[in-house]
Amino acid sequence: MLYSGYMKKKVYSGIRATNRLHIGNYLGAVKGMLTVQEDYDCIFSVVDLHAITTPYDTKILQTNVREIIIDYLAAGLDPKKCLLEIQSQIPEHTELAYLLSTIYPVSRLEDLPTYKDKKAQYPKYVNMGLLFYPVLMAADIMLYKGELVPVGIDQEPHIEVTREIVRKFNSMFGETFPQPHRFNTEGEYVPSLTGNGKMSKSVEGSYITLTDDLETIRKRLANAPTDSGKVGGQIERDKEGVGALFTLLYLFTNKQDGSLDHIYEKYENEYRDKTIRYSQMKEELANLIFNELQPLQEKRKYFEEHPQEVDEIIAESREKCLIRARETIQEVKTKMGLIYR
């Protein structure tokens, strides 16, 4: 394996193993990972310890983890350029999280929007792990001294928590960690197909997965809300409802070479002129999405048919991650006065 990245800028990111990846995860996170793997020292994780903070099925957790690793590979993450980690295989994540939790206030965690959202979503499942989530996420990034984090905009408050913990740690125990920043992508916020909020694995009806075929994509888009088509004026993509549909069209037509710009402009003009036919727009959008996903689905088949190759990639990454994780823990425990002779 050619991977060697010790001297480059460090990147860490993870995706929860809660369900199949959707186009929000792809545009908001995976596309950023694909960009940074070219130049930086990257570790991309499937964060199973985060997945168990919300209700889950023990029987399918492992399948979900593996499916995400395969999605990563199918999307183009290249084990010659980056490491693919399964979070719980590196126990140092939880060790560091505990150590960091001793320098961070509970009150700040209780105020975080993601914690409040999850509390509202699962009122009978409000556990310590859920509150602790941002500390574990900080530990995930800090364990590998991450400087760049390709994640969607929903994760910005957690990156801010990480920076706060970094500053606190460095000021208490000496300069140790860099302050990480989010690596943004154009699709940093992909709206839900329900027309409300963001696309999410845990909200049924909100997403299109990377493995959906054309027919499924059509069906899912059919449920996305529209309006009478007679509103007119300038379309506002950041508005709920039909704005979500236009955002998706924008994200799937906005290519660097400008080759698909005319499609977006056509529907924007029709919206303004009150002549828009949403069924036609949805049909065209379904084709655009499927065209982008089809090569990934082809590549996915290869990895599904070569499970041993996937096992080897996971095992090799794990070994390399463990070495680096142990180094950081050793350094942290020394600075915190926890190494005994």
> Residue 41 Cβ, how far from ligand ADP at the closest point, in Å?
19
Q: Quick check: 311 and 303 in contact, CB under 8 A?
A: no
One-letter identity of residue 63? T
Check binding of 245 to ligand ADP (CB under 6 A). no
CA separation, residue 327 to residues 145, 275, 335 (Å): 11, 62, 13
> Residue 206 Cβ, how far from ligand ADP at the closest point, in Å?
8
Q: Which is nearer to ligand ADP, 76 or 229 (CB)?
A: 76
- In whole angstroms, give the CA distance from residue 23 to residue 306: 25
- In whole angstroms, give the CA distance from residue 25 to residue 87: 18
Residue 201 falls in the annotated catalytic set: yes
Q: Residues 198, 266, 299, 333: which is the catalytic one?
A: 198
- In whole angstroms, give the CA distance from residue 116 to residue 104: 18
What does the longest C-alpha to C-alpha distance in the chain come to? 78
Query: Angle 28-315-75 (CA atoms, 0-180°, nearest 5)?
Result: 25
Burial 139-155 (b: 16+ CB within 10 A, else e): bbbbbbbbbbbbbbebb
Among 176, 202, 211, 287, binds ligand ADP (CB under 6 A): 202
Nearest to 144 by CA among 6, 319, 1: 6
Contacts to ligand ADP from residues 27-56, by CB under 6 A: 27-29
Q: How far is CA 94 from the centre of its chain?
A: 20
For ligand ADP, which residue has the nearest CB?
28
Residue 9 falls in the annotated catalytic set: no
Q: Which is nearer to ligand ADP, 117 or 236 (CB)?
A: 117
> Residue 311 Cβ, how far from ligand ADP at the closest point, in Å?
23
Among 10, 25, 165, 245, binds ligand ADP (CB under 6 A): 25
The 3-state DSSP class for residue 116 equals: helix
Check binding of 184 to ligand ADP (CB under 6 A). no
Catalogue the E-assigned strands of 205-322: none
Residue 198 falls in the annotated catalytic set: yes
Among 10, 81, 201, 282, binds ligand ADP (CB under 6 A): 201
Among 189, 250, 278, 303, binds ligand ADP (CB under 6 A): 189
Contacts to ligand ADP from residues 115-174, by CB under 6 A: 151-152, 154-155
- Residues assigned a catalytic role: 118, 198, 201
Name the residues that contact ligand ADP, by CB under 6 A.
15-16, 18, 24-25, 27-29, 151-152, 154-155, 187-190, 198-202
